[in-house]
Amino acid sequence: MGPLNLWSPVILAPMAGVTDLPFRRLCREFGERPLDPGQLSTAEAGKDAPAGLYVMEMVTARALVEGNRETWRMLEPDPDERVRSVQLYGTNPATMAEAARLLVDRHLADHLDMNFGCPVPKVTKRGGGAALPWKLDLYRDIVTGVVREADRRGIPVTVKMRIGIDDDHVTVFEAARIAQAAGVVAVGLHARTQEQYYSGHARWEWIARLKEQLKVPVLGNGDIFSAQDAREMMAQTGCDAVVIGRGCQGRPWLFEEIVADLWDRPAPTPPNLGQVCRVIERHADLMVQTLGEELRAMREMRKHLGWYLRGFSVGGATRQQLGLVSTRAELSTILATLNAEEPFPEVAAGPRGRAGKAKRPHLPDGWLSTRTVSEQEKALLHLAEADGGSGG
């Protein structure tokens, strides 16, 4: 991927409110376990060759340019990260280019990704996210501007997108070719349309079709919940790397399982409840260390606790306590009451995260009438940036 050489073709998808510094570190630590440390210390080119990419939460270009303190805090680097991987979201070409310039000039990113895959209605109804590639001129201007700024310091750029708005309005092939011509080093595809949202099954055949059309690497995303899923996607589609999203929520060790399988290493044994609790404790410590406020850290941990304990025999009263946990000591006390020997439940190994039903595409009025953006639509796009998105 340009100057980046990945020892393992695995990528943590950016997920709003999930892929913060503590969670990225956990995923990366598990992803590096199956490998010889000597391999990871050998730099073939550029940065020390990482065992994958672990992308931080999406950041909004407008917030960066306007100096939003919380957005800049999110960019605080993890000193252990070999590659600082940032996903940008925006709908204004000038703002996106300026955000890219700020990131590379301040040496805060070794890799930039752009989000054109968010299906959230509040974003797409204003022309952002998965709706944006329909407007070819706007999309081209954004991609070209970001690549131009990143190229000044040799920072590789990737894009992530969906198949299209729906089956009658496919955008992936044109958008991918534009991105390749602009100089991106890889294209990621979540193999669903905006209409599908997160429902049904990802259509991996679209990843295979995209791979046939591009010279740059293709990153496959959608419905990878196990090491077998990752291997099958790569075998069926020919994609160069797999992007892991919902499948790792509450299961950062999924990266160890996938990397071990791809490297033909022995499969790790699924963790029992006691081992899961130890991961939770480490996650909580990292969260406190990162945020510096115990109450805030525990509030952030609450959603993770539900994912970690999915399928385990944890009573309703205990789950309610965990949903209100406010101190680090309280968390340890509650976890100590659980049956540490309980094996990992089979139900927790399958699909997880949001799914729901397909959603009628929410778009600006008249959005599909032309492939170019009007002045009126440009004014609307400014509002889309204010709302941000949630990954793709």
328 is in an annotated binding site: no
87 annotated ligand-binding residue: yes
Contacts for 205 with CB less than 8 Å, ≥ 6 apart: 191, 236, 237
Q: Locate tokens 């960019």: which residue?
A: 75
Q: Can you give the C-alpha Rg of the chain in angstroms?
A: 20
Give the pairing type, strands 164-166 and 59-60.
unpaired
The three-point CA angle 149-151-152 to 5° equals 70
Q: Is 245 annotated as a binding residue?
A: yes
16 assigned to a ligand binding site: yes
| Ligand-binding site membership of 301 (annotated) | no
Comparing CA positions, the residue from 381, 306, 311, 389 lying closest to residue 344 is: 311
Tokens of 115: 């989000």
CA dist., res. 151 & res. 267, Å (int): 40
The one catalytic residue among 27, 118, 248, 277: 118
- Buried/exposed 170-184: b ≥16 CB within 10 Å, e otherwise: bbbebbbebbbebbb
Judge whether 378 is annotated as a binding position: no
Please work out, in degrees rounded to the nearest 5, the angle formed at the alpha carbon of residue 370 by the alpha carbons of 368 and 375. 105
- In the annotation, is 248 catalytic? no
Binding residues for FMN: 14-16, 87, 160, 190, 245-246
Active site residues: 118
Binding residues: 14-16, 87, 160, 190, 245-246
